[in-house]
């Protein structure tokens, strides 16, 4: 999943709309925020339709006096977005990833150029951090203030106004810059001639919960293109920890010729220790060997395709030269391997189907219950044939079943337990009193 934000300085022109569309496509964005858009409210719908197509979108138009400042578009097939609050300088929203169900908070920021006006933003972020609490939170956008000396291309001899307030704010809300790559300086101001100023004004920041949930997430700052700001792209790979897969015995390996000798060889291994320790150690060794055997015969589907291709080639040769015995022998060997691979694949798929059925049953899913209803319908007994050769339906079937098992299991009478005194048990539990 990728989320982008770009200060493109106006979105009314078609050429800038095309640039935003290209950034969305090139970076495979699912959410894109465009800031400093200067779009009039009357023209907002047309601009968003041309830029975002069939995406959903929101803006902070109700908080802006003249021209739009922030517009956020997203793919409704991938995300569900709910706006929590908005102001002139920020849109706070809750984002849910439809595929995984993962939820987090996102704040799209376009800070004011004046440090006094930015104080409103810092207070807003502090209040919203109380709403976030221990949930994942990421902040993206143009903060319009550098944080440290290295954020200036030519250094800085004095600390500018507003830097302390920005630093105090991020310390209060406990966020930090996400690991990033690409352009170091995200804003370019060109003067007349060949001189210019470069600063890092655009940032992607996150709290510890987000970093813990998404340890591989990182930001990439792309080239400016026609803007004076870099597009910032937050990339969130599928960063679930890959645990070693648990052992699962594949039934088809028990039919292999080398399976029983392998089990016998491992079970005859001499291991020192208590009896239960010996059993567990042998099972571990057996598990390792079974896993190796599974890996040896894994990929039956690919093997089937290769053998099917070889089978077609050799059959073509036999058709062209039917009297060559070499081709006949080769064909028999390939056909045997092909049948074995198909049989292995069928057994493996059958085992997986049973496992999936058990999982769906444990999950109490709708699919499981629908299959259960279908199976019950197929297994329903509508009539039975009695001893006299007559078909019996309805309630009469119950009587026929009861009478059949009465005759089958015998008649009711008292049971004599005296015979138990003559039965001797060799293995008995010993009573022990502490």
- Per-residue pLDDT at 235: 92
Residue 131 corresponds to which tokens in the numbers above?
Answer: 């709403």
Residue 100 corresponds to which tokens in the numbers above?
Answer: 């995984």
| CA-to-CA dists, residue 386 to 381, 390, 402, 408, 409, angstroms | 14, 6, 12, 14, 17
| Residue 182 zone, left/alpha/beta (φ > 0; ψ -120 to 50; rest) | left
Sorting pLDDT into bands at 50, 70 and 90, what band is 379? low
d(CA 85, CA 90): 8
d(CA 87, CA 69): 10
Sorting pLDDT into bands at 50, 70 and 90, what band is 80? very high
Across-strand partners of 97? 79
- The domain spans of the chain are 2-235, 251-373, 374-407
By mean pLDDT, which of 30-44, 207-221, 303-317, 358-372 is the weakest? Answer: 358-372
By mean pLDDT, which of 87-91, 285-289, 365-369, 401-405 is the weakest? Answer: 365-369
Q: Is 0.85 topped by the overall pTM?
A: no
Sorting pLDDT into bands at 50, 70 and 90, what band is 364? low
The greatest distance separating any two alpha carbons of the chain, rounded to the nearest whole angstrom, comes to 116
When the pLDDT of each residue in the chain is averaged and rounded to a whole number, the result is 82
Span 2-235: which CATH code? 3.60.10.10
Q: In Å, how far from its chain's centre is CA 257?
A: 39
Sorting pLDDT into bands at 50, 70 and 90, what band is 434? very low
Cβ count within 10 A of residue 283: 13
d(CA 414, CA 54): 80
Residue 310 corresponds to which tokens in the numbers above?
Answer: 């070889």
d(CA 94, CA 84): 7
Interval 110-115 mean pLDDT: 92
Residue 204 corresponds to which tokens in the numbers above?
Answer: 């992607």
d(CA 191, CA 189): 7
| CA-to-CA dists, residue 345 to 260, 276, 305, angstroms | 21, 36, 12
Sorting pLDDT into bands at 50, 70 and 90, what band is 421? low
């Amino acid at each position: 999943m990728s989320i982008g934000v770009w200060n493109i300085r106006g979105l009314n022109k078609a050429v800038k709309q095309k640039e935003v569309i290209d950034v969305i496509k090139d970076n495979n964005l699912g959410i894109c925020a465009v800031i400093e858009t200067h779009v009039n409210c009357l023209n907002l719908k047309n601009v968003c339709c041309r830029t975002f197509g069939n995406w959903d979108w929101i803006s902070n138009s109700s908080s802006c006096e003249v021209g739009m400042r922030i517009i956020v578009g997203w793919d409704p097939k991938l995300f569900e977005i709910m706006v929590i609050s908005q102001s002139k300088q920020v849109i706070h929203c809750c984002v849910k990833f439809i595929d995984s169900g993962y939820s987090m908070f996102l704040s799209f920021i376009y800070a004011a150029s004046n440090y006094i006006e930015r104080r409103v933003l810092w207070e807003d972020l502090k209040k919203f951090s109380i709403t976030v609490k221990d949930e994942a939170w990421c902040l993206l956008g143009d903060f319009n203030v550098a944080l440290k000396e290295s954020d200036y291309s030519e250094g800085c001899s004095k600390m500018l106004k507003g830097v302390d307030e920005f630093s105090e704010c991020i310390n209060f809300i406990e966020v930090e810059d996400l690991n990033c790559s690409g352009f170091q300086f995200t804003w370019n101001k060109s003067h007349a001639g060949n001189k210019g100023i470069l600063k890092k004004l655009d940032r992607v920041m996150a709290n510890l919960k987000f970093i813990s949930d998404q340890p591989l997430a990182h930001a990439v700052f792309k080239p400016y293109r026609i803007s004076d700001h870099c597009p910032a792209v937050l990339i969130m790979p599928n960063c679930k920890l890959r645990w070693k897969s648990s052992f699962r015995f594949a039934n088809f390996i028990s039919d292999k010729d080398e399976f029983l000798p392998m089990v016998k060889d491992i079970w005859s291994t001499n291991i020192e220790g208590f009896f239960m320790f010996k059993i567990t150690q042998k099972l571990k060794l057996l598990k390792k060997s079974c896993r190796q055997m599974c890996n040896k015969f894994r990929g039956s589907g690919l093997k089937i395709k290769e053998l099917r291709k070889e089978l077609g080639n050799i059959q073509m040769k036999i058709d062209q030269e039917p009297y060559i015995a070499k081709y006949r022998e080769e064909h028999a060997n390939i056909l045997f391997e092909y049948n074995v691979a198909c049989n292995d694949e069928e057994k493996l798929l059958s085992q997986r189907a049973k496992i999936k059925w058990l999982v769906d049953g444990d999950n109490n899913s709708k699919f499981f219950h629908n299959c259960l209803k279908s199976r019950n319908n197929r297994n329903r007994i509508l009539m039975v044939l009695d001893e006299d050769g007559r078909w019996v339906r309805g309630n009469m079937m119950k009587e026929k079943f009861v009478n059949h098992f009465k005759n089958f299991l015998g008649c009711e009478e008292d049971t004599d337990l005296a015979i138990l005194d003559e039965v001797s048990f060799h293995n008995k539990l010993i009573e022990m009193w502490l």
